[in-house]
Amino acid sequence: MARAFARSLGRRPIAELKNRSLDRGINVLETLAREGACSLADLHRHTGLAKSTLRRLLGTLMDRHIIRQSATDRLFRSNVIFPPGSDAPQALELTMLIDRAMPVLAELTRKVGWPSDIHIISGAKMRIVDSTRPMSPYRLNHGFVNRVINIFGSATGTACLAAMPDDAIAEYHKQTRGDPTWGLRRFDMELLHYMSRIADVRTQGFGSRLSNYLGETVLDDGLAAIAVPIFVNKWPSGAITLIWPRAYKTPSDFAKAHLEDLKQTAEKISNAIAGKSTT
């Protein structure tokens, strides 16, 4: 009887062999790819699925690291790349970085109080992908997840670039040459001048903002940051920060108090990504 049943399945059209739960899960993933970050209410509205059903699907997808819920805005985002034409976020390799980073960053913020952002390199820019700002006792303005920022002027950008060979930095300059927003032209700098800045970053052991870089907000955000890189497959694919009001301390003074904690956190994250023990 079992063989007969198996033969009958083999004769049935593939289209009839659908799995309802899998179909619903794919519906959620397609919605996140199409609409971008979504709340539970957004997914309910876009998919028509009951919220109780969505909670079960989201729990399973998060457990398998196929989607994530950002700590900053509590929105759900996809960790997978869909075919061309979709607007799904970054590759799974880098979203795995986020999964590994956030619990460790939360520990850092609990210890030092100050919030930490995690950025990844996205093309010739840096992209904010999550933050512990909501967990910090200091009420700094919340950053915007998926906001892109200048790689040359930002603390995270300089931290990542300083961890690369010089020819890689020159390639980023080539890609953005003459661009008044994303290139060195924004800071009235030539590559040779910027490389002296990179030498300073390599010596001091952390990245910080250029003095004339005030963030990507319309108004000066009033913040300062130090950053160190996170390595994926031995390459600086992103960076983590500690952030404070610029009037509070200079980057050098702030680093004296907190750089070692930041470096240890980055090492834990890089080890976790590589599958090494974080103890």
One pLDDT digit (tens) per residue for the chain, 279 residues: 555 544 554 555 555 556 788 888 888 888 887 777 888 999 999 899 999 999 999 999 888 878 888 877 788 888 765 544 444 344 556 667 777 888 999 999 999 999 999 999 989 999 888 889 888 998 777 657 778 899 999 999 999 999 999 999 999 999 999 999 999 999 999 999 999 999 999 999 999 999 888 777 656 778 899 999 999 888 999 999 999 999 999 999 999 999 999 999 999 999 988 877 655
Q: Pick from 50, 78, 106: which residue ends a domain? A: 78
Same domain, 138 and 15: no
Q: In this structure, are 43 and 164 located in the same domain?
A: no
Do both 52 and 115 map to the same domain? no
Query: Are the C-beta atoms of 109 and 274 separated by less than 8 Å?
Result: no
Domain extent, residue 248, equals 92-273
Q: Which two tokens stand for residue 20?
A: 């309802």
Which two three-digit tokens encode residue 147?
Answer: 């906001």
CATH code of the domain covering residue 34: 1.10.10.10
Which of 46, 78, 110 lies at the terminal end of a domain, its last residue?
A: 78
* Burial letters 47-83, b for 16+ CB under 10 A, else e: bebeeeebeebbeebeeeebbbbbbbbebbbbbbeee
Q: What is the pLDDT of residue 84?
A: 45
pLDDT value at residue 80: 67
Residue indicated by tokens 């970050």? 37
Mark whether 135 and 199 lie in a shared domain: yes
The answer to whether position 84 is within a domain reads no
Q: Could you give the number of structural domains in the chain?
A: 2
Query: How high is the pLDDT of residue 5?
Result: 43
Q: Specify if 87 maps to a domain.
A: no
pTM (predicted TM-score): 0.73
Same domain, 50 and 185: no
Alpha helix stretches (DSSP H) within 113-165: 155-162
Residues 176, 264: one domain? yes
Answer whether residue 278 is part of any domain. no
d(CA 144, CA 215): 12
Residue 62's pLDDT is what?
86
Query: Are residues 187 and 244 both part of a single domain?
Result: yes
Residue 28's Cβ-side half-sphere holds a number of Cα atoms within 13 Å equal to 31
Supply the pLDDT for residue 153: 95
The answer on 233 and 188 residing in a single domain is yes
